[in-house]
Chains A and B, each alone.
Chain A
Amino acid sequence: MWRDSLRGIYYIALKDMRTYYLKPPSLSWGIVFPLAWILAFYLRNPRGFEELVPGLIAMTILFSTTAAEAVVINFELRLGSLERLLLAPISLPVVLLGKVLGGTIFGLMMTTVITIVSIVVLGLHPNFLYLILIIIPSLLVFSSLGSLLCVLVKEVFEAQTLLNLPRFIMIFLCGVVYPVSAMPTALQYLAYIMPLTYTVDGLRHSFSIASSTMVFTDTLVLIGFFILFIVPAIKLLYKKFE
């Protein structure tokens, strides 16, 4: 049973990579947008660019995972091809996890490229174990957030519109550009209920000398966010098939 489920998740993820992710719109949202954003900040202040790297990686994680994730489920529901997957001997959670894994793998590819280029070009020395402990759960969190918002709405375009709101709020409030500690208290509280805050925080720890406890705390919080997004996404998808 577990073998069947893992096989289903793997092949659905591979199929989605081929069908949706390795296409120009996903690539542009996943890489071009974060790069353009950071370039703007670099041109403004080239000296402190190292400090922007965790934010750049966090944005790449956010945009690459959610680029297609927020539309694929509704798109396939409309075409009837999601039903095709559900006719196979796998459960609905397996289908959804396959979709989430597709976004995660794509995000991992994009993030790996950005991270390696940043490290090589700027001569940085991060703790790679910490990086993995933050990047992997973050990819799962934002991929599941995309799928949750996708199953919340009926139309393909509604999901993209809906997703833009948390995406842009997170960019400004979660420490990507400005440190959370420098923001007014009310906004700091808001930042701490958003997953990107823990991604940026964990990445900053990975690029500095930090205790493992701080990184593990961020990892645990991110795993909590993943559960918080994936469980209702599964329940809502079940509802669509009632």
Chain B
Amino acid sequence: MKNVVDVKELTKRFGELVAVDHINFEVRKSEFFGFLGPNGAGKTTTIRILTGLSKPTEGRVSVLGLDINSRIVEAKRHIGVVPEISNLYDEFSAIDNLLFMAQLYGVPRTQRRKRAEGLLKTFGLYERKNNLFRTFSRGMKRALTIAAALIHNPEILFLDEPTVGLDVVAARSLRNLIGNLHQQGIAIFLTTHYLEEADLLCDRVAILVKGRIIKIDTPKALKAAAEEESVIEFSFGREISELIEDLSNKLPEVKIATVDHNKLRIYGGAPTEVYDSVFSFAKGKGIKIQSINSIKPTLEDAFIKITGLSPIVMAIEKGGK
């Protein structure tokens, strides 16, 4: 089987609201596939349909060749799911949570404890195997939730925003663990709004905005497309967000995005014209320019070019990085 997930014209409506709008994509065997988009783009709705928690309004979805409308229970034997919320049982210890999952997934009795302890060792939680889930830190809860999703050796792992709410160290550690799982041959479907996470981990990325897939490609190809135009970053001596509109009027043919309260990036346009316009704008407003950088496009730049959205919007929506 070439594809582990096949999605054709998938649509989900909630009354008048179209959460997912005729999307098409496939996840290949052993691929790390990213679903990238802001809040409300339809990422979680899509993952809920793919994992059988919600029914599609229209379209056809198959997981490992099994139609999810008619054979979802069969498909669920081969998939692992890590929801956005770490929803294991607070009253159970780490090992008991994993053993309960092993029971539900029909892992043979003789293998349950061995597998559970093996996963606890892999995720660095073995020393705390008898501690209650509720006593764990957020990062440890996430790690145990991923371990629980792996107890039955799934062929595909669905991860919904796995690093949301984690501190930098915990998020990095979790990304390493996820990367290692992929290297073991598990296909991974990741939804995220963290652009660098998708860039770092994914083989291919689908960019989803307002329920529609705008682009699917490798992070490298997306960045290459962004390289076709110049990206110049200006740093100013004070807050400039309220002046963006004035600058946009001066440079109508370029795309301007704020990176920080005193920093912006200008995409496209002839570099000399951009420099001249920004210099004269800053002089006119009495603002000091602190630095100028011509930068190599990142996936974030590609995202801005493709969607016209600011990555800051996504970070704010989910409570920041």
Contact = CB atoms under 8 A, between A and B. Distances in A.
Interface string B85-118: 1011101100000001101111000000000000
Contact of A11 (B74, B77, B92, B104): B104
Interface string A18-46: 11000000000000000000000000000
Nearest to B82: A87
B49 to A, nearest CB: 11
B321 interface: no
A155 interface: no
B81 interface: yes
Given A19-B91, A81-B89, A90 B104 contact: yes
B87 A79 contact: yes
B310 interface: no
A228 B103 CA distance: 31
Given A15-B89, A19-B89, A19-B91, A87 B51 contact: yes
Contact of A242 (B55, B89, B103): B55
Contacts of B103: 7, 11
A88 B76 CA distance: 6
Contacts of B92: 19
A85 B53 contact: no
A19 B92 CA distance: 8
Contacts of B179: none
B135 interface: no
Interface residues of A, number: 23
B80 to A, nearest CB: 8
Contacts of A83: 53, 83, 87
A85 B104 contact: yes
A89 B54 contact: no
A85 B74 CA distance: 15
Contacts of B85: 80
Contacts of B73: 1, 4, 89-91
A241 B53 CA distance: 7
B269 to A, nearest CB: 47
Question: How many of chain B's residues touch chain A, expressed as a range?
Answer: 20 to 34
Chain B interface mostly:
loop
Given A87-B76, A241-B54, A11 B87 contact: no
A63 to B, nearest CB: 23
B271 interface: no
B268 interface: no
B133 to A, nearest CB: 10
Contacts of A19: 89, 91-92
Given A7-B106, A11-B104, A91-B73, A86 B52 contact: yes
Pick the most buried of A7, A80, A89: most chain B CB atoms within 10 A of its CB. A89
A80 B87 contact: yes
Contacts of B77: 89
Nearest to B12: A242
A234 to B, nearest CB: 15
Contacts of B54: 241-242
Contacts of B106: 4, 7, 89
A241 B55 CA distance: 8
A87 B106 CA distance: 13
A55 interface: no
Nearest to B87: A80
A86 B53 contact: yes
The 9 closest A-B pairs by CB, nearest first: A80-B87, A89-B76, A88-B104, A89-B77, A11-B103, A80-B85, A87-B81, A84-B87, A81-B87
Interface of B: 51-55, 73-74, 76-77, 81, 83, 85, 87-89, 91-92, 100-101, 103-106
Interface of A: 1, 4, 7-8, 11-12, 15, 18-19, 79-81, 83-91, 241-242
Given A80-B87, A81-B87, 10 more contacts: A7-B103, A80-B83, A84-B87, A85-B104, A86-B53, A87-B76, A88-B104, A89-B76, A90-B76, A241-B53
